[in-house]
Amino acid sequence: MHPGGEWLRRVPRNPFQAGCVYVLSHGSNPAPGSQVDDKQLIGRIQAGDPAAERQFFETYADRIHRIVYRFVGDPEAAQDCVQETFIRAFDRLGTFRGESALGTWLGSIAVSVALNALRGRKRDEKRHAPWEAAEAVAAPSARVSEPDLKTRLHAEIDQLPEGYRMVFLLHDVEGYTHEEIGTMLGVQSGTSKAQLFRARARLRDRLADFAPEVSST
Amino acid sequence: MTQEGDETPLEPRLRELAQGYNAPPALDHEATWRAIEARRQATGSQVPGRPQVVSGRRKARGSRRPVMSTRAAAWISGIAALLIIGIGIGRMTAPNRGDLATANAPVPSPRTASTALEIAAAQHLSQSEAYLTLFRASVRSNDVDSLPVAAARQLLATNRLLLDSPVADARLRPLLLDLELVLAEITQLGATTRPDDVKLITDGLDRGDVMLRLRVAPARGSLPNGVL
């Protein structure tokens, strides 16, 4: 399940690829219960059907937006990433061979786009880091209040190495399988599992102060 | 390697709180789709494998899709190449270069060089007019952010080359100078575009009658039919 309220179930009906027919059990786009046949959809897009292009976008826009927003955490940057993802997808649709589900293929583009956006932002942040550090030194009183578990967790997720963070967000927050994550990140599913294990271990370690609260529910 | 089955699942409390990490707001589908369409138009993006006959479809969408964008990339590359050739020929045939020119080198006639430059100038003006039309349309639809600024940079570079060439005579030079200012302002538009910046540009276009002058520019009128 995708925590945004979207259940994505694959129905092995299409010979193009096992599991390439999606049934969205609920969610806003497309309409509940609608089916999207990847192969037919791609064929229609390549034939120049504008409605198919729009359908492709409507089918996957929310999923892509969720992924990139989790990574970049900024509305404008996420919006840019969604646009870039679909533009690249339309450009490269002819290269899609059906080795993975269309949504996963699109997700791999989204991950790549979001990573580029993040790296660009990190470069910008590095340029400003000396000033921020100076401000922190100049105003230590701003740090007096103790953060709660939620604040600390989010800060610790921010501090995870890029690979850990991506796998953690895709698996534990967005609900993708290791196979899907492996395809999106271009790694083996075992690598995804290992990264997730380490991400969780690191978070537990860093949040040890909150152990009673964490295990209370 | 850790097996998925061996993993200790994330504690429910952490999982619940993690959902709030960079929690995505609702996506504005309509605005996003419009932006994607505009960007694809600007870059001439097309789905690989799509037959060219889809131009009929694009024609049907004509009211929404500016003509300039579909050929922008090809035109800009063509203009750049043509300009380089034209200016190269112009410089080779310019006076007071006797010491540099080799006696045996084939030298194009001044008329050939002049025609090449006129063609380049005419194409540049036509392209600029189309781009500025796109700019105006973007302003009207409040969608300036999706404007292809890279194309403005290309046009600006071409404009500067033309300003330095013999084609920038007394009749064409004022227009190229006004155009340079407008294009330079457009290239400064970024993600944080302010309405005042856009208004400044549109006011500049109106005050100088840039669009009208582009349409009736002398460089465009002197060309034979079919050049543009």
From CA A206, how far away is CA B118, in angstroms rounded? Answer: 69
Q: Which residues contact B151 (CB under 8 A, 6 or more apart)?
A: B42, B72, B76, B131
Give the pLDDT of residue B71: 56
Kindly list the distances between the CA atom of residue A136 and the CA atoms of A139, A153, B63, in Å, as whole numbers in the listed order: 5, 21, 54
What are the structure tokens assigned to A56, written together? 């492709």
pLDDT score at B188: 80
Tens of pLDDT, residue by residue over A34-57, are 445 888 889 899 898 999 999 999
Residue-level pLDDT at A145: 54
The 3-state DSSP class for residue B121 equals helix
Cβ-Cβ contacts under 8 Å for A4 (sequence gap 6 or more):
A27, A62, A66, B24
Positive or negative, the Cα torsion across A49, A51, A57, A60? negative
- Per CB-CB distance under 8 Å, the chain A contacts of B14 are 153, 203, 207, 214
Q: How far is A139 from chain B (nearest CA, A)?
A: 27
Q: Which residues of B touch A89 (CB under 8 A)?
A: none
Encode chain B (228 residues) as per-residue pLDDT tens digits: 444 445 688 899 999 999 999 999 999 999 999 999 999 888 776 666 655 444 444 444 444 444 444 556 566 677 777 777 777 777 666 655 444 444 555 565 667 777 788 888 888 888 898 888 888 888 888 777 777 778 888 898 888 888 888 888 888 888 888 888 888 888 887 656 677 778 888 888 887 788 888 877 766 655 544 444
Could you tell me which chain B residue has the CA closest to the CA of A73?
B22
Please indicate, yes or no, whether the overall pTM of this predicted structure exceeds 0.80. Answer: no
A210: CB partners within 8 A, 6+ apart: A149, A152
**Residues of chain A contacting B47 with CB distance shorter than 8 Å:** 45-46, 48, 53, 90-91, 93-94
Torsion, Cα of B51, B57, B63, B64 (10° steps): -60
| B10 CB-near residues (< 8 Å, 6+ apart) | A172, A200, B18
Compute the distance between CA of residue B4 and CA of residue B10 in angstroms, rounded to an integer. Answer: 12
Name A9's bridge partners.
A23
For residue A178, pLDDT beyond 90: yes
Start-to-end CA span in chain B (Å): 65
Q: What does the DSSP 8-state code read for residue A169? A: I
Is residue B27 within 8 Å of A61, Cβ to Cβ?
yes
